Amino acid sequence: MGEGEGEGEGEGEGMTEYLQRMARYNRWMNRKLFAKVSELPADAIAEDRDAFFGSILGTLNHILIADLFWLHRFATSPGCREALAHPLTEYPTPASSREILFDDFAELTETRRSIDGLILDFSETLTSELLAQSIRYRNMAGEKQERLLGQLLQHFFNHQTHHRGQTTTLLFQAGVDPGPTDLLVMMMEEG
């Protein structure tokens, strides 16, 4: 690899800029997705559709829960603590990845917007040095893990995208077209 190149980077783009773009995409896509979900009645949002997390509501709760788990893990790192530790005290601490933190879609939407703002603000604090730091944590099975923050953030954003893709399928099944979801569409909108 040449200078400035690395796993997960765009051509001529550093990892920091890439992750900041992914934070913007997360917010952009969640705004679009939640607007589309809000077109459905509450019972359709909560309807069990035989998806991995049951319903649209269950899947959206899972994404939020996973984000909270990861943000709490990131906050244990000295380099991330200032940006995350205090703001995270305002949010519930989930007990499991299948929990329904919010069964009211309006509350879920409000919390999602707030968390997306926190993620975006956090992304602005990232540096190459910080991304190269190790984060020690326990996975859901309680096993000790250690990975570089940059790698974990790539997983963090990929996880969101994966489950939003499931949500768009559930929306289609409910008769709602989620519209374009590609990162490239956001990049074109940004200019």
Any binding-site annotation on 159?
Answer: yes
Annotate 9-35 with DSSP letters as a single string.
Answer: PPTT--HHHHHHHHHHHHHHHHHHHHH
Distance CA 116, CA 26 (A): 7
Q: What is the largest CA-CA distance in the chain?
A: 53
Any binding-site annotation on 72?
Answer: no
Distance CA 59, CA 102 (A): 11
**Alpha helix ranges (H) inside 1-148:** 15-37, 42-46, 56-75, 78-88, 105-123, 128-131
Binding residues for a divalent metal cation: 62, 159, 163
Binding residues: 62, 159, 163
